[in-house]
């Protein structure tokens, strides 16, 4: 045991702060976003998020699992196969993720700024 992800859940502050505790970490939202489209294997996730390292991906996946946002399924096959999918709780974050994506598409795709 490397004793990573020593957080899982926290109980401080308002609902916004507490919600953030579940989705902070550099890659959680991105991972959840990818999984919205369907179940993915470990290396499929890696390929879809090139900037993440293996270590970090594992770490974030473990935290997401510990928080009940994703489901990790191991198939005891000869070439190991592990699939990650959203739990009901994780899927309930879809409005948040899509709102964030919509905002990103609108505010970051266009180089123009400050449309007051």
Partner DNA sequence: CGGTATCCACGCGGATACTG
Partner DNA sequence: CAGTATCCGCGTGGATACCG
Contact 82, 72 (CB under 8 A): yes
Span 48-77, contacts to DNA by CB under 7 A: 51-56, 58, 61-62, 72
From candidates 10, 19, 20, 82, binder to DNA by CB under 7 A:
82
Long-range contacts of 80-88 (CB under 8 A, 24+ apart): 81/41, 82/41, 82/42, 83/39, 83/40, 83/41, 84/31, 84/35, 84/39, 84/40, 84/41, 84/42, 84/45, 85/35, 85/38, 85/39, 85/40, 86/32, 86/35, 86/36
For DNA, which is the closer residue by CB, 22 or 61?
61
From candidates 18, 81, 89, 101, binder to DNA by CB under 7 A:
81
Residue 44 in contact with DNA, rule: CB under 7 A = yes
Span 10-29, contacts to a second copy by CB under 8 A: 12-20, 22, 24, 26, 29
Q: How far is the CB of 107 from DNA (least distance, A)?
A: 21
Residue 38 site contact among a second copy, DNA, none (CB < 5 to 8 Å, cut-off depends on kind): none
Residue 39 in contact with DNA, rule: CB under 7 A = no
């Amino acid at each position: 045991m490397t004793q990573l992800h020593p957080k899982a859940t926290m109980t401080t502050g308002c609902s916004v702060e507490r919600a953030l505790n579940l989705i902070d970490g550099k890659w959680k939202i991105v991972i959840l976003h990818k999984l919205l489209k369907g179940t993915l294997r470990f290396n499929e996730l890696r390929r879809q998020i090139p900037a993440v390292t293996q270590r970090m991906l594992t770490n974030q996946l473990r935290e997401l699992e510990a928080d009940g946002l994703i489901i990790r399924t191991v198939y005891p096959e000869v070439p190991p196969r592990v699939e990650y999918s959203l739990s009901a709780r994780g899927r309930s974050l879809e409005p948040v993720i899509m709102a964030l994506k919509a905002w990103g598409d609108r505010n970051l795709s266009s180089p123009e700024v400050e449309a007051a």
